[in-house]
Chains A and B, each alone.
Chain A
Amino acid sequence: DVKVTQSSRYLVKRTGEKVFLECVQDMDHENMFWYRQDPGLGLRLIYFSYDVKMKEKGDIPEGYSVSREKKERFSLILESASTNQTSMYLCASSPTSGGPTFYSTDTQYFGPGTRLTVL
Protein backbone atom coordinates (compact mmCIF):
# COMPACT_ATOMS: atom_id res chain seq x y z
CA ASP A 1 0.00 0.00 0.00
CA VAL A 2 1.06 3.54 -0.69
CA LYS A 3 1.90 5.36 2.44
CA VAL A 4 2.05 9.12 2.83
CA THR A 5 3.02 10.33 6.26
CA GLN A 6 3.01 13.80 7.73
CA SER A 7 5.27 14.76 10.61
CA SER A 8 2.57 16.02 12.98
CA ARG A 9 -1.18 15.55 13.35
CA TYR A 10 -1.61 18.67 15.45
CA LEU A 11 0.61 21.72 15.69
CA VAL A 12 0.24 24.98 17.61
CA LYS A 13 2.48 27.92 16.74
CA ARG A 14 2.66 31.61 17.51
CA THR A 15 2.31 34.46 15.04
CA GLY A 16 5.63 35.23 13.36
CA GLU A 17 7.17 31.81 13.96
CA LYS A 18 8.74 29.85 11.11
CA VAL A 19 6.86 26.60 10.63
CA PHE A 20 7.93 23.44 8.82
CA LEU A 21 5.46 20.80 7.76
CA GLU A 22 7.04 17.59 6.53
CA CYS A 23 5.62 14.97 4.19
CA VAL A 24 7.18 11.65 3.23
CA GLN A 25 5.94 9.07 0.72
CA ASP A 26 7.31 5.58 0.31
CA MET A 27 6.23 4.67 -3.24
CA ASP A 28 8.83 6.50 -5.32
CA HIS A 29 6.20 8.89 -6.71
CA GLU A 30 7.40 11.75 -8.87
CA ASN A 31 4.63 14.19 -7.97
CA MET A 32 3.92 15.66 -4.55
CA PHE A 33 1.37 18.26 -3.50
CA TRP A 34 0.49 20.49 -0.58
CA TYR A 35 -3.12 21.54 -0.03
CA ARG A 36 -4.92 23.43 2.68
CA GLN A 37 -8.44 22.42 3.62
CA ASP A 38 -10.92 24.93 5.01
CA PRO A 39 -14.64 24.40 5.70
CA GLY A 40 -16.76 25.17 2.66
CA LEU A 41 -13.74 25.79 0.45
CA GLY A 42 -12.67 22.22 -0.11
CA LEU A 43 -8.99 21.67 -0.83
CA ARG A 44 -6.91 24.39 -2.39
CA LEU A 45 -3.52 23.68 -3.92
CA ILE A 46 -0.62 25.59 -2.40
CA TYR A 47 2.36 24.10 -4.24
CA PHE A 48 3.13 21.15 -6.46
CA SER A 49 6.42 19.40 -7.23
CA TYR A 50 6.94 17.03 -10.14
CA ASP A 51 10.58 16.21 -9.46
CA VAL A 52 13.39 16.79 -7.01
CA LYS A 53 14.17 20.50 -6.69
CA MET A 54 11.27 21.35 -9.02
CA LYS A 55 8.18 23.20 -7.85
CA GLU A 56 5.18 25.01 -9.24
CA LYS A 57 2.81 27.41 -7.57
CA GLY A 58 -0.73 26.32 -7.02
CA ASP A 59 -3.75 28.49 -6.44
CA ILE A 60 -2.73 30.04 -3.11
CA PRO A 61 1.07 30.14 -2.76
CA GLU A 62 1.29 33.48 -0.96
CA GLY A 63 2.88 33.18 2.47
CA TYR A 64 4.25 29.69 1.76
CA SER A 65 7.35 28.15 0.27
CA VAL A 66 8.36 24.53 -0.35
CA SER A 67 11.45 22.39 -0.51
CA ARG A 68 12.05 19.09 -2.26
CA GLU A 69 15.63 17.96 -1.80
CA LYS A 70 14.84 14.25 -1.97
CA LYS A 71 12.24 12.46 -4.04
CA GLU A 72 10.38 11.04 -1.06
CA ARG A 73 10.17 14.23 0.99
CA PHE A 74 8.26 17.45 0.35
CA SER A 75 8.31 20.21 2.94
CA LEU A 76 5.94 23.14 3.32
CA ILE A 77 7.37 26.22 5.00
CA LEU A 78 5.52 29.12 6.55
CA GLU A 79 8.23 31.78 6.79
CA SER A 80 6.28 33.90 9.27
CA ALA A 81 3.09 32.24 10.44
CA SER A 82 -0.07 34.31 10.62
CA THR A 83 -3.46 33.59 12.16
CA ASN A 84 -5.08 33.30 8.72
CA GLN A 85 -2.86 30.29 8.07
CA THR A 86 -4.69 28.32 10.74
CA SER A 87 -6.00 25.37 8.75
CA MET A 88 -5.74 21.68 7.96
CA TYR A 89 -2.80 20.93 5.67
CA LEU A 90 -2.85 17.85 3.48
CA CYS A 91 0.02 16.35 1.55
CA ALA A 92 -0.47 14.05 -1.43
CA SER A 93 1.64 12.16 -3.94
CA SER A 94 1.06 10.53 -7.29
CA PRO A 95 3.07 8.69 -9.93
CA THR A 96 3.37 9.86 -13.50
CA SER A 97 4.66 8.44 -16.72
CA GLY A 98 6.27 11.66 -17.81
CA GLY A 99 6.99 15.27 -16.94
CA PRO A 100 4.44 17.87 -15.92
CA THR A 101 2.98 18.23 -19.40
CA PHE A 102 2.15 14.55 -19.71
CA TYR A 103 -1.25 13.77 -18.31
CA SER A 104 -1.57 11.00 -15.84
CA THR A 105 -4.65 9.09 -14.90
CA ASP A 106 -3.11 8.02 -11.66
CA THR A 107 -4.57 8.72 -8.29
CA GLN A 108 -3.34 11.20 -5.73
CA TYR A 109 -2.65 9.50 -2.40
CA PHE A 110 -3.17 11.62 0.68
CA GLY A 111 -1.57 11.77 4.09
CA PRO A 112 -3.66 12.08 7.27
CA GLY A 113 -3.24 15.83 7.50
CA THR A 114 -1.74 18.30 9.95
CA ARG A 115 -4.07 20.61 11.81
CA LEU A 116 -2.13 23.82 12.35
CA THR A 117 -3.29 26.48 14.78
CA VAL A 118 -1.53 29.84 14.75
CA LEU A 119 -2.15 31.92 17.87
Chain B
Amino acid sequence: AQSVTQLGSHVSVSEGALVLLRCNYSSSVPPYLFWYVQYPNQGLQLLLKYTTGATLVKGINGFEAEFKKSETSFHLTKPSAHMSDAAEYFCAVRPNNAGNMLTFGGGTRLMVKP
Protein backbone atom coordinates (compact mmCIF):
# COMPACT_ATOMS: atom_id res chain seq x y z
CA ALA B 1 0.00 0.00 0.00
CA GLN B 2 1.15 3.51 -0.66
CA SER B 3 0.59 6.77 1.16
CA VAL B 4 1.36 10.43 0.53
CA THR B 5 2.17 13.10 3.09
CA GLN B 6 2.14 16.78 2.26
CA LEU B 7 3.80 18.81 4.98
CA GLY B 8 1.89 21.98 5.67
CA SER B 9 -1.79 22.29 4.81
CA HIS B 10 -1.26 26.03 4.25
CA VAL B 11 1.80 27.79 2.85
CA SER B 12 2.07 31.56 2.47
CA VAL B 13 4.72 33.30 0.37
CA SER B 14 5.27 36.81 -0.92
CA GLU B 15 4.97 37.54 -4.60
CA GLY B 16 8.36 36.93 -6.21
CA ALA B 17 9.54 34.59 -3.47
CA LEU B 18 10.48 30.93 -3.83
CA VAL B 19 7.66 28.42 -3.64
CA LEU B 20 8.42 25.08 -1.98
CA LEU B 21 5.64 22.56 -1.41
CA ARG B 22 6.71 19.33 0.22
CA CYS B 23 5.60 15.82 -0.64
CA ASN B 24 6.84 12.54 0.82
CA TYR B 25 5.50 9.16 -0.14
CA SER B 26 5.70 5.58 0.91
CA SER B 27 5.40 2.84 -1.65
CA SER B 28 6.41 -0.80 -1.76
CA VAL B 29 7.41 -0.50 -5.42
CA PRO B 30 8.87 2.37 -7.44
CA PRO B 31 6.05 4.80 -7.97
CA TYR B 32 4.85 7.21 -10.55
CA LEU B 33 4.46 10.65 -8.99
CA PHE B 34 2.18 13.54 -9.85
CA TRP B 35 1.42 17.09 -8.83
CA TYR B 36 -2.03 18.49 -9.52
CA VAL B 37 -3.31 22.03 -8.99
CA GLN B 38 -6.86 23.07 -8.17
CA TYR B 39 -7.83 26.68 -8.74
CA PRO B 40 -10.90 27.99 -6.89
CA ASN B 41 -14.14 26.41 -8.05
CA GLN B 42 -12.40 24.21 -10.59
CA GLY B 43 -11.39 20.58 -10.97
CA LEU B 44 -7.82 19.33 -10.72
CA GLN B 45 -5.31 20.01 -13.46
CA LEU B 46 -2.04 18.16 -13.95
CA LEU B 47 1.05 20.27 -13.25
CA LEU B 48 3.71 17.64 -13.86
CA LYS B 49 4.49 13.97 -13.47
CA TYR B 50 7.45 11.67 -12.98
CA THR B 51 7.38 8.20 -14.48
CA THR B 52 10.89 7.19 -15.50
CA GLY B 53 14.09 8.84 -16.68
CA ALA B 54 15.29 12.26 -15.58
CA THR B 55 14.47 12.88 -11.94
CA LEU B 56 14.00 16.64 -12.37
CA VAL B 57 10.66 17.19 -14.03
CA LYS B 58 9.44 20.46 -15.46
CA GLY B 59 5.76 21.27 -15.59
CA ILE B 60 3.43 24.04 -16.60
CA ASN B 61 3.49 27.61 -15.25
CA GLY B 62 7.18 27.46 -14.31
CA PHE B 63 6.83 24.68 -11.72
CA GLU B 64 9.25 21.80 -11.37
CA ALA B 65 9.74 18.86 -9.04
CA GLU B 66 12.59 16.50 -8.29
CA PHE B 67 12.19 12.83 -7.51
CA LYS B 68 14.60 11.82 -4.75
CA LYS B 69 14.38 8.11 -4.19
CA SER B 70 16.68 8.09 -1.17
CA GLU B 71 14.47 10.65 0.56
CA THR B 72 11.18 9.28 -0.84
CA SER B 73 10.31 12.85 -1.76
CA PHE B 74 8.86 14.73 -4.70
CA HIS B 75 8.87 18.38 -3.63
CA LEU B 76 7.36 21.03 -5.90
CA THR B 77 9.19 24.30 -6.48
CA LYS B 78 8.89 27.53 -8.41
CA PRO B 79 11.61 30.19 -8.28
CA SER B 80 9.29 33.20 -8.18
CA ALA B 81 5.68 33.13 -6.99
CA HIS B 82 2.98 34.95 -8.88
CA MET B 83 -0.39 36.00 -7.55
CA SER B 84 -2.04 33.63 -10.03
CA ASP B 85 -0.30 30.67 -8.34
CA ALA B 86 -2.66 30.90 -5.38
CA ALA B 87 -4.45 27.56 -5.40
CA GLU B 88 -4.51 24.17 -3.73
CA TYR B 89 -1.84 21.69 -4.73
CA PHE B 90 -2.07 17.93 -4.48
CA CYS B 91 0.70 15.37 -4.66
CA ALA B 92 -0.30 11.88 -5.82
CA VAL B 93 1.39 8.51 -6.24
CA ARG B 94 0.68 5.35 -8.20
CA PRO B 95 2.66 2.11 -8.19
CA ASN B 96 4.29 1.65 -11.57
CA ASN B 97 3.22 -1.95 -11.94
CA ALA B 98 -0.49 -1.96 -11.31
CA GLY B 99 -3.60 -0.27 -12.47
CA ASN B 100 -4.49 3.36 -12.81
CA MET B 101 -5.50 4.33 -9.29
CA LEU B 102 -3.89 7.31 -7.64
CA THR B 103 -3.38 7.91 -3.94
CA PHE B 104 -3.51 11.61 -3.07
CA GLY B 105 -1.98 13.63 -0.29
CA GLY B 106 -4.09 15.91 1.87
CA GLY B 107 -3.33 18.98 -0.21
CA THR B 108 -1.49 22.26 0.44
CA ARG B 109 -3.18 25.59 0.00
CA LEU B 110 -0.74 28.16 -1.36
CA MET B 111 -1.39 31.80 -0.57
CA VAL B 112 0.58 34.55 -2.33
CA LYS B 113 0.87 37.94 -0.64
CA PRO B 114 1.40 41.08 -2.71
Contact = CB atoms under 8 A, between A and B. Distances in A.
Interface of A: 4, 31, 33, 35, 40-45, 48, 50, 58, 90, 92, 94, 96, 100-101, 103-108, 110-113
B102 A108 contact: yes
A107 B92 CA distance: 11
Interface string B76-114: 000000000000001010111111111111110000000
Interface residues of B, number: 30
Nearest to B42: A112
Contacts, number: 68
Interface of B: 4, 6, 9, 32, 34, 36, 41-46, 49, 51, 90, 92, 94-107
B53 to A, nearest CB: 11
Interface majority SS (helix, strand, loop, mixed), chain A: loop
A43 B43 contact: no
A41 B97 contact: no
A4 B49 CA distance: 20
